[in-house]
Structure 1
Amino acid sequence: MERRIYICDDEAGILRYLQKMLVAQGFGVEVFSSPLHLLRHLEEGSSEDAVGLLLLDMKMPDLDGIDTLRRVRQLRPQLLVVMMTGHGTIDSAVEAMKLGAYDYLTKPFPQEKLFAVVRHCLEREQLLEENRQLRSELSSQADPGTLIAESPVFRKVVELAMRVAPTDSSVLILGESGTGKEVVARTIHRASLRRDQRFVAINCAALTETLLESQLFGHVRGAFTGAAQNQKGILEEAHGGTLFLDEIGDVSAALQAKLLRVLQEGEFIPVGATRPKRVDVRFIAATNKDLEKEVAAGRFREDLFYRLNVIGLSLPPLRERGADIEPLARHFLGKMAVKTASAVRRIDPEAIAALRAYSWPGNVRELENVIERGTILAEGEVLTPDALPLKLTRDVRVAAPEAGPLPLREAERRQIVLALRETAWNKTQAANLLGITRKTLDRKVKEFDLSPAAPHPHP
């Protein structure tokens, strides 16, 4: 990627001199004789312009270097800035570095000093970019984004999600906090025809009404105090792709009406603007609230509910997905191994039993946190019950029968019944859960006279 150098100085001779030297070294250079011209260019240009460095003079008539630096940091916070200053303004250069300037050059400076500073800045930017790419790659390896659906109840949800993914229909995902609503939304996007476009997510409950409106629709310069420039909203950022509205049940009535217009007409008006803009976005919304009750209570618009709920997905809590607990735990263990270089590679069977016995009020998010905690506290390569929170191991002890150990035959029968129930009597899956062959399971089912229709004592 090309890394250009911007130079801003009000002296034409210095601009020509610096441009000639840097172009001769193979750099792409663009010069500005006024900070106002520079700021206008940055404001109108794309935030993805391949710019690596700005050489900024400290003393200029239109706007001094300190004020220009403040504006540049707002427009392009990643842009490296080197101040150029005379001997009498070194204190100001130091102040500029406190405001975010990377370095400063004292005039007159030799060519060697200029080249050294420029190359050091661009090498630093390239290193930061490589680090960002590496973190992205590691994140992708740690979390490939595939849904883990061993349990029949969750597999049905995933199958429905895959059926609706290729369409442009709106999807409403319901479920308790931590059940994986955003993971499902991202999976739908990746399986859709919009997969090459952006997936943009926003938590509607995390922002005030005013800030949420500005974030969604954008604003024009002067729309409110502090709106120094035009700002795109995430609706425009998601154009051609998918917009995920998390916690849609917390959106105010006024914003509900504006969202309904986008869903119906495909257009919106930025804050402070008068003309509408058109946008092509696929909507996926999620909430942990019962929206039908919210509609009945008058807190959520009925027309918006039906627009969003073209396809409804109800995610089961983790306590109803017993067959998913162990594979999820192993998945998070692998994720932590990449994220923290953890030495933990396996989960002790007793720890697995504790995880399966727990009720998981925080759902999948809580399970991930527990595994992260366990990998930090575990000694060696095995995550044991000692590394789990006390409440998990305590629940296992409470669940144990007070009368003492069960007869071996009864304990065996209960485990088989439990495995069959969790897999909806899929014997192949139940055998895998129990760690036995399908043939052995068939023999045990016959031995204990088990059948799906027959009532069984609590396992």
Structure 2
Amino acid sequence: MNDGPTYSLLIVDDDKAMRHSLLALMEAAGWQAEAVARGEKALERLATLAPDVILSDVRMPGMTGMELLAALDTELSPPLVLISAHGDIPMAVEAMQSGAYSFVEKPYEPRRLLTILTHAAEQSRMRASNQRLKARLYELSGLDRVLLGQTQAVANLREEVLDLAPMEGAVLIQGETGTGKELVARALHDLGPRAEQPFLAINCAALSPERFEAEMFGTAEGGKGRLQAATGGTLFLDEIGACPPAVQAKLLRVIEDQQVFPVGAATPDAVDLRIISATNEDVDQAVADGRLRQDLLFRINTFVMQLPPLRQRRDDVTLLSAHFLDDYARVHEIAAPELDHEDVATLMAHDWPGNVRELRNVCARRVMQARRGGGTMAAALTQTGGLEDVPETLREAVAAFERELIGKAIKGHEGRMDAAAEALGIGRRTLNEKIVKLGLKKEALL
């Protein structure tokens, strides 16, 4: 019995007896296998099937094995092993030169075939993993924007994110409001082994003890709760210090036991969640004041990350400003306003209590001023720019402004929602909620 990874194989052979023989062999070896009789059918299945390896006969009616190999995208498709009763050295050489992983003659020797297929599957998995890692590192889930900067503190923090992402231990992210705690949490998730699983963000300040169990644990009659739906992924507890005491006890049990009891159920449901928490307050003081359980703190602070406030990285202020101005200008399809000496002096003199989020919002207002042909950073900082020509009521003004800004962000970032959310200075969850509330249709914007 195979105790290793379960690999998958797509068999392509017009010989029915050979297909059955290969299927029996792969099933006995613990593989998942599917067989088709034609190369054309194999290409159709590859549109929805993602096998680790393809094993194809060479000589078949219609599309041959060599033609199937030529039709595959060598960068994206799984490795292909050719098998034929008519094989010879020239054919094997041609197959390898054309991109085949290997060539096997019929009648095949089972152990040798399994060895070749296993090595091909291992290579396929490794290549797929490397491709995902490269894509994540390139995107960095907004990390390159949230932690954009040249100061040593930011460079160290980027390295810390990359170091902690593969870990399973709980992470506590500490930092003032606006330093990017949720986006760092998402980066830890997206750069880690749970990236393909859900990321569940919970605002602890908004949790109600009365509704907590039913919403998070589900009910015996009403189905699964949010925690069961997110199992396998990451649970992000935002503002953990604001969590009601009654809820803290229930969260502690979930973290300790990795299981939840649906309301009215007699048996628990197992969950598998990595815990990432965030707070903008002193957790030791919160424990001393009785607002945060010490045993809960010990469960969530295996690793602690401290996000630096913007006033401690003033050398990054102009760099960040130029980045945000360019980002918002692209969304609004105008030239980015240039920073003059007075703008830079204004930026450097400000203490930035709202940190990177405040700076991003100031840059958004500066771009709104530029759309009307003027403006300064000083005016944007005091929130005097870009407020004319708005609807009569505040509710209408806010809705109209958000609808325009969100629509242009989605269009400007070509439907990439994480990038649009970052450009707007909000989390992906908040963006989704606003899209629904404002009645926006992503498809209509692209």
Q: What does the per-residue CA deviation read over 1:366-415, in whole Å, with 9 as the maximum and x for residues that have no partner?
A: 1111111111012578874365234899xxxxxxxxxxxxxxxxxxxxxx
Rate the CA distance shift 1:163–1:386 in 2: closer, same or farther, 3 A.
Answer: closer
Larger radius of gyration: 1
Change (3 A) 1:214 1:251: farther
Q: Quick one: distance in 1 between partners of 2:140 and 2:344? A: 21
Partner of 1:276: 268
CA contact (8 A) 2:198 2:230 kept: yes
**Partner Cα separation in structure 2 for residue 346 and residue 142 of structure 1:** 27
**TM alignment of 1:46-445, pairs within 5 A:** 144-146=142-144, 147-221=147-221, 230-344=222-336, 346-378=338-370, 384-385=376-377, 387-390=379-382
What SS does the aligned partner of 2:308 have? coil
Q: Where do 5+ consecutive residues of structure 2 fail to align?
A: 1-137, 386-446
* Equivalent-residue separation in structure 1 for 2:232 and 2:141 (angstroms): 25
CA displacement, residues 19-41 of structure 1 (integer Å, 9 cap, x when unaligned): xxxxxxxxxxxxxxxxxxxxxxx
Amino acid at match of 2:190: R
CA distance in 2, matches of 1:306, 1:351: 45
Q: Quick one: structure 1 residues 354 and 282, their matched pair in 2 at CA, closer, same or farther if it must change by over 3 Å?
A: same
1:200/1:237 contact within 8 Å kept: no
* Matches of 2:334 and 2:261, distance apart in 1: 49
User: Distance between the aligned counterparts of 1:294 and 1:323, measured in 2?
Assistant: 32
In structure 2, C-alpha distance between the alignment counterparts of 1:239 and 1:220, rounded to whole Å = 18
Q: How many residues align?
A: 246
User: Whole-Å Cα distance in 2 between the matches of residues 392 and 318 of structure 1?
Assistant: 23
Output the amino acid matched with 2:357: R
Structure 1 residue 327: deviation in Å? Answer: 2.4
- 1:172 corresponds to which letter in structure 2? L
Q: Which amino acid aligns with 2:280?
A: N
SS in 2 for 1:372: helix
CA–CA distance in structure 2, aligned partners of residues 142 and 356 of structure 1: 28
Calculate the TM-score normalised by the size of structure 2. Answer: 0.50
| Contact 1:209–1:252 under 8 Å retained in 2 | yes
Partner SS, residue 374 of structure 1: helix
CA–CA distance in structure 1, aligned partners of residues 371 and 216 of structure 2: 47
2:365 partner letter: R
What is the CA distance between 1:310 and its match in structure 2? Answer: 0.1
Counterpart-to-counterpart distance in 2, 1:143 and 1:343: 26
Superimposed CA distance per residue, residues 409-448 of structure 1 (whole angstroms, 9 cap, x where no aligned partner)? xxxxxxxxxxxxxxxxxxxxxxxxxxxxxxxxxxxxxxxx
**Cα distance change of structure 1 residues 342 and 186 upon mapping to structure 2, 3 Å threshold:** farther
Aligned 8 A contact 1:354 1:392 in 2: no
Q: Distance in 2 between matches of 1:379 and 1:361?
A: 27
Q: Compute the displacement of 1:269 (Å).
A: 1.4
Alpha-carbon spacing, 1:342–1:297, altered in 2? closer, same or farther (3 Å) = same
Return the offset for 1:215: 3.4
In terms of mean alpha carbon deviation, does 285-294 or 268-277 score higher?
268-277
Given that 1:344 and 1:382 are in contact with CA atoms closer than 8 Å, whether structure 2 keeps it comes out as no
Counterpart CA distance in 1 for 2:141 and 2:161 is 19
**Counterpart Cα distance in 1 of 2:249 and 2:340:** 53
Cα distance in 1 for residues equivalent to 2:367 and 2:198:
33
- Give the Cα separation in 1 of the matches to 2:383 and 2:373: 23
How far, CA to CA, are the matches of 1:311 and 1:143 in structure 2? 20
State the AA in 2 paired with 1:195.
A
Q: Equivalents in 1 of 2:357, 2:227: separation in Å?
A: 28
Q: How far is the alpha carbon of 1:248 from its aligned partner?
A: 0.8
Which runs of 5 or more structure 1 residues have no equivalent in the other structure? 1-139, 222-229, 394-459
Partner-residue secondary structure (3-state), 2:305: strand
The question of whether the paired residues in 2 share the 8 Å contact of 1:198 and 1:242 is answered with: yes
Instruction: Name the CA shift for 1:248/1:260 in 2 (closer, same or farther; >3 Å).
Output: same
Worse overlay, 331-340 or 261-270: 331-340
- The percentage of aligned residue pairs carrying the same residue is 43
How far the C-alpha of 1:149 sits from its partner, in A, is 3.5
Instruction: Return closer, same or farther for 1:312/1:379 CA change in 2, 3 Å cut-off.
Output: same
Contact (CA 8 Å) 1:240, 1:280: kept in 2 or not? yes
CA contact 1:179–1:315 (8 Å) conserved in 2: yes
Partners of 1:205 and 1:324 lie apart in 2 by 31
CA contact (8 A) 2:209 2:246 kept: no
Could you tell me the TM-score, scaled by structure 1's length?
Answer: 0.49
User: Alpha-carbon deviations, 1:337-376, whole Å to 9, x = none?
Assistant: 3443344354334323321221011111111111111110
Change (3 A) 1:279 1:142: closer
One-letter amino acid of the counterpart of residue 169, structure 1: G
Is the alpha carbon distance of 1:251 and 1:329 closer, same or farther for their aligned partners in structure 2, counting shifts above 3 Å? same
Counterpart residue identity of residue 179, structure 1: T
Q: Whole-Å Cα distance in 2 between the matches of residues 151 and 327 of structure 1? A: 11
Provide the secondary structure at the position in 2 that maps to 1:378: helix
